[in-house]
Amino acid sequence: MSLTALQVIDEKFFHLSNDRVSYIIAVMPNGQLGHVYFGPKLTLDRAQLEALVAPVSKSAGTVKFSADDHQFSLADQQQELPVYGSTDYRQGSLGLKADGAPLYLDLKYQSYTTASSKPRVLTTPGAFGDQADCLNLTVKDSTWQVEAVLHYTLFPDAAAVVRSVTVTNHAQQSYLLERCLSATLDLPTADYEFLHLSGNWARERQVQTQSLAHGIASVESLHGASSHQQNPFVALVATDATLRHGEAYGANLIYSGNFQASAEVNEWRQTRLTTGIHPEQFEWQLDPETAFTSPEAVLLYSDSGLNGLAQQAAQFANQHIIAPHWQHRPRPVVLNSWEAAYFHLDPKVLLKLADQGKQIGVDCFVLDDGWFGNRDTDNSSLGDWQVDRRKFPAGLGAFAQAIHAKGLQFGLWFEPEMVSPNSALIKAHPDWVVGPNRGRRSVGRHQYVLDFANPAVVENLYEQMRRVIDETQLDYIKWDMNRDITEAYSAYLAQVGRPQGEFFHRYIQGVYALYAKLLTAYPDVLIEGCAGGGGRFDLGILFYSPQIWVSDDSDAVERLRIQFGTSLGYPLSAMSNHLTKVPNDQVGRTTPLAMRFNVATFGVLGYELDLTKLTPATLTALKQQIVQYRQNQELILHGQFELLPPTGKNSNEFAWAVVNAARTEALVGFYRLLATPGQTVADRLSLPFLNGEQQYQVEGQTVPISGSVLKHVGLPLPVQFNGVNPDTATLKGDYQSCLLHLLAL
């Protein structure tokens, strides 16, 4: 275990460090907090720190901060909590108004406090750890009596700094907080590519990059969720970096609502990376002696390219976001009823399906949509979480008992945040629906959104779900969320006299409150996050749900791109991957059973198949897959993920691996989408992460290979048919793949 250190010198310099990184803050000449450095660990004394912050020259075109110092301007200063308008014209982190007029805050350093651990608090998602250096820096504007506390946490095992800010109003009047970003990182150059994960439903987290230039590059969501279209994880990758070499900074938000992440380059080619709640559609009424705390942001650093940054992000999430209860436990292999039955749920048929699932080795049978109300299609019954007695005449408890009697865990699908127009809940509480009393109101997927800003709504849903959980002795919940928020208006907020601009943040706080209630009462229940697939794949949900449904698109080809993008910001242990039928429901493509497994195995494995209609040979193959996955699950979920060329450069081929900490075991996946004639016979894949002094046995091969050969020459891949080698080719046609398991001798 590496150690953290906090060095405070004369309350002017604050230096957080561990074996991997340093983060340095200094009090600037005007009393505000300046950013000095974030990168590889530095060893510095007072004189060296003074030299780091010594002014070189005033930049051209600046406005001086005060009449007392004509050399100092905030326009070209690296800052920790910038405020727009006081000689700094870049995007600010903080913005308040009093009686409609902006406050140009002068937040001067006051004091600091420290802590040596950061507990897990279930009511609010955030990073946690028994060992940490926590630094809290208090700044204050004495004119407006506004205080801010900047929170920093550095864990011993992570190249990541966790940041947030608490703003308190000590004045006698109310203020309106209109902007409260979680973190700002100012960098001295603009020699980076801005990387983000963009897409849409069924094409989430596609890797996009753009060169930085004078101006702003931004990704954001105003969907009420982190969204299918964008993701809170972004990165700045040095222009000379490769997949495995060079500098890269990352930023992510431990939050599931509206967000904005941007990289702004000013006229001197300085870069400001910011992340936090989207200022649009946000405002918070700060009454006297009340406070607001932003969501936590994670700032990451790697000097080993995008692969190294992905590893830092994965390790951080595995150790400091995912619940300790699930960090070291095996995850169940589920059989989900959806593609086998859809809404046509017959207990006798489902129990036969569960029997087949037990025979091939699954751990958990999940009853998906259609078990409640009068739910025969997706246009009814949301909000009425009582069993449909037409389908389950003996009750859901009896069905669950039958599943448990087979030695299987039992899971259920819920969509707690939604309500159908004809439900009993909406008839009893029409004011619980998001939307204004007058004017238009959109309907998405035949449903409305419940007002989770209202605590009574949260309590009602908890009570409904609690009764079902108790009756079924539930083991697993699939928590879905299938439409975004439109016409955002809360009758509850109007009733209690709060601004409507508080709605989106209060909504996601309500979602977190329901998670917290359920997990407090049922700590052993595994909740899998889902939002129309991957529409809310973020660290906020991961804090409560140790795994998240990656995408509604389960096609193996599309999943390669989606899982690649997801792996840049999130661990394999978070990725729920199901092997489904062909032709695939989302794209109509038919891929081999082996490829579907070879893609899905890098994550948490599950199945959505009608096992009762499969051949004995296919069932045997599925059983063998599950045996193989169980043997590798510890390695997959807790090993180090490695991205390998040509991934990211060649859209036809992907390669990656996972290796244990001792470098004695590795699982390699290679995928080729379309066959190409004329390819060389001796394809090899370099494995630079192995121990060059070790000998490795490749499963299924007789001759060991040295680690030095695997690192520098490469692992031989199965021979692909190239048009002229039918006698030696072992893989032929489109959609080919292989898994190669290596063990040190």
126-to-152, 164, 294, 470 alpha-carbon distances in Å: 12, 10, 11, 29
Q: Give, as one character, the DSSP assignment of residue 613.
A: G
User: d(Cα 261, Cα 233) in Å, to the nearest integer?
Assistant: 8
User: d(Cα 465, Cα 463) in Å, to the nearest integer?
Assistant: 5
Active site residue 157: no
Residue 318, judged by CB atoms within 10 A of its CB (0-12, 13-18, 19+), counts as buried
Tokens standing for 353? 């399906």
316-to-107, 240, 252, 662, 679 alpha-carbon distances in Å: 31, 25, 11, 19, 40
Are residues 151 and 165 in contact, defined by beta-carbon separation less than 8 angstroms? yes
Total count of residues recorded for the chain: 745
Are residues 27 and 112 in contact, defined by beta-carbon separation less than 8 angstroms? no
The label of the residue with tokens 């030299």 reads 51
79-to-43, 255, 262 alpha-carbon distances in Å: 22, 23, 16
Concatenated DSSP letters for 699-739? TT-SS-EEHHHHHHT-EEPPPBP-SS-TTT-SB-SSSEEEE
Rounded to a whole number of angstroms, the CA Rg of the chain reads 27
Tokens standing for 741? 């398991």
237-to-31, 298, 299, 571 alpha-carbon distances in Å: 32, 16, 13, 19
Are residues 359 and 386 in contact, defined by beta-carbon separation less than 8 angstroms? no
Task: Mark residue 100 as left, alpha or beta (left: phi above 0; alpha: psi -120 to 50; beta: remaining).
Answer: left
User: d(Cα 595, Cα 724) in Å, to the nearest integer?
Assistant: 24
Q: What is the dihedral of CA 57, 60, 65, 68, to 10 degrees?
A: 60
646 preceded by a cis bond (ω within 30 of 0): yes
Query: Which of these is catalytic: 384, 388, 451, 552?
Result: 552
- 125: which residues sit within 8 A by CB, 6+ positions away? 254, 255, 256, 295, 296, 321, 512, 539, 540, 543, 544
Residue 187, beta-bridge partner list: 271
Query: Which of these is catalytic: 480, 484, 553, 555?
Result: 480
Bridge-based pairing of strands 146-154 and 133-141 is antiparallel
User: d(Cα 38, Cα 161) in Å, to the nearest integer?
Assistant: 9
The label of the residue with tokens 């005033």 reads 58
Active site residue 480: yes
Supply the residues annotated as catalytic: 480, 552
